[in-house]
């Protein structure tokens, strides 16, 4: 079956699966590896509107757009329309394909300051932010949000209509409330309701961890694209498996141990090239543990990941695993 495409504004995206923005996880190295395995669309880690306006060095580092990642969105968060508009205008020099606004992050340091999912309690402010960002941008603007603040305030369809009215050209809905964080199950019916409520593309997000669950999201919600988050941890193959399933109904075999080891090293090597060995290896300790989950002796190897300090350390660990598994 031929895979179709969707358009957000004039940006064309293959209708397979996108990679979700995940702060402190989906960095450039992570995204590039997922892209190599078929991710159709990328979104940056969250960029603070105020941090960007105040020229915070770490914030500016998140703005890099690598042409290999396109189509690619930069994502901002903030609670003040003026700051968000200023940040949007500043981001245009990095030439993103799309600008996304985070109105779904549930973590206390974001939502507790009035940003992220806190905006679902203030639709008027969310509308003002979106309208201001649209006016300041020369690329399509999208909004990512949740089903609501809590189970007593499920308002995603109403929220979606307001964002569309403010000029958003696409929406991403995570089917959990803020108070659920990442617990329980994502509500796919609320995504279906959002899709029915608006005329712009809707991306469904939540609990996509295999090709079958991606297909189920499309079928049950009618969404235009699906977005994979935690299902990609140590598993960039999820994107190629989804694409193959949609294209010919065949799900490729799970990656071999050697393929996992090679991808783990490749991602870490990329991270070192972008961030330097000291910073990259500190972050790689968690990423490598994802790749080793479920293998024989995983607990011991994953514990060893906690002390990785160099690419040489990682090479030594990989060779130890290969030797233990009889891989030449």
pLDDT, position 164: 98
pLDDT, position 76: 97
Structural contact between residues 182 and 176, judged by C-beta atoms closer than 8 angstroms: yes
- Same domain as 185, residue 76: yes
- Say if strands 72-77 and 202-205 run parallel, antiparallel, or are unpaired: unpaired
- Same domain as 264, residue 121: no
Tokens of 62: 């998140």
Q: Is residue 141 part of a domain?
A: yes
How far is residue 113's CA from residue 122's CA, in Å, rounded to a whole number? 13
User: Which uninterrupted H or E stretch holds 242?
Assistant: helix 237-248
pLDDT, position 159: 98
Instruction: Report the CATH number at residue 281.
Output: 1.10.1200
- Same domain as 225, residue 272: no
Instruction: Report the CATH number at residue 11.
Output: 3.20.20.70
Query: Where a domain ends, among 248, 266, 291?
Result: 248
pLDDT digits (tens, 9 = 90+) for 43-75: 999 999 999 999 887 787 799 889 999 999 999
Residue 324 — pLDDT band, cuts 50, 70, 90? confident
The backbone torsions φ and ψ at residue 217, rounded to the nearest 5 degrees and listed phi first, read -60, -45
How far is residue 115's CA from residue 191's CA, in Å, rounded to a whole number? 22
- Same domain as 145, residue 213: yes
Q: Is residue 266 part of a domain?
A: yes
- Same domain as 161, residue 195: yes
Closest CA to 287 of 306, 315, 259: 306
How far is residue 285's CA from residue 305's CA, in Å, rounded to a whole number? 5
- Same domain as 176, residue 291: no
- Same domain as 133, residue 189: yes
Query: Where a domain ends, among 186, 214, 248?
Result: 248
- Same domain as 240, residue 298: no
pLDDT digits (tens, 9 = 90+) for 123-165: 999 999 999 999 999 999 999 999 999 999 999 999 999 999 9
- Same domain as 275, residue 235: no
Query: Where a domain ends, among 248, 267, 292?
Result: 248
- Same domain as 81, residue 33: yes
- Same domain as 150, residue 72: yes
State which residues form the domain around 36. Answer: 5-248
How far is residue 277's CA from residue 279's CA, in Å, rounded to a whole number? 6
pLDDT, position 328: 63
How far is residue 221's CA from residue 167's CA, in Å, rounded to a whole number? 23
Q: Is residue 328 part of a domain?
A: no
**Residue 288 annotated to the active site:** no
Which of 34, 53, 63, 105 is the catalytic position? 105
Q: Is residue 279 part of a domain?
A: yes
- Same domain as 53, residue 145: yes
Exposure pattern of 229-260 as b/e (b: 16+ CB <10 Å)? bebbbbbbbbbbbbbbbbeeeeeeeebebeeb
Q: Is residue 287 part of a domain?
A: yes
Number of domains in the chain: 2
């Amino acid at each position: 079956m031929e895979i179709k495409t969707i358009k957000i504004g004039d940006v064309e995206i293959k209708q397979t699966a996108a990679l979700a923005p995940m702060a402190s996880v989906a960095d450039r190295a992570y995204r590039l590896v997922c892209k190599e395995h078929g991710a159709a669309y990328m979104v940056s880690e969250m960029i603070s509107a105020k941090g960007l306006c105040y020229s915070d060095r770490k914030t500016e580092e998140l703005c890099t757009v690598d042409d290999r990642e396109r189509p690619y969105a930069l994502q901002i968060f903030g609670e003040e329309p003026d700051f968000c508009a200023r940040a949007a205008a500043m981001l245009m020099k990095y030439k993103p394909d799309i600008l996304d606004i985070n109105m779904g992050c549930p973590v206390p340091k974001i939502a507790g300051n009035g940003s992220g999912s806190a905006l679902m309690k203030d639709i008027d402010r969310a509308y003002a932010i979106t309208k201001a960002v649209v006016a300041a941008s020369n690329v399509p603007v999208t909004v990512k949000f949740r089903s609501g603040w809590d189970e007593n305030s499920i308002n995603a369809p109403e929220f979606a209509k307001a964002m569309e009215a403010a000029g958003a050209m696409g929406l991403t809905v995570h089917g959990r409330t803020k108070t659920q964080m990442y617990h329980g199950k994502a509500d796919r019916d609320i995504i279906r309701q959002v899709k029915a409520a608006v005329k712009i593309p809707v991306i469904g997000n939540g609990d996509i961890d295999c090709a079958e669950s991606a297909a189920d999201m499309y079928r049950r919600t009618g969404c235009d694209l699906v977005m994979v988050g935690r299902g990609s941890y140590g598993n960039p193959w999820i994107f190629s498996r989804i694409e193959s399933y949609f294209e010919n109904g065949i799900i490729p075999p799970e990656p071999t141990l050697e393929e996992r080891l090679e991808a783990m090293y490749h991602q870490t090597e990329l991270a070192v090239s972008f961030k330097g060995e000291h910073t990259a290896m500190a972050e790689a300790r968690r990423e490598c543990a994802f790749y080793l989950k479920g293998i024989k002796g995983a607990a011991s190897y994953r514990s060893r990941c906690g002390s990785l300090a160099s690419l040489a350390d990682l090479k030594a660990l990989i060779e130890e695993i290969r030797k233990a598994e009889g891989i030449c």
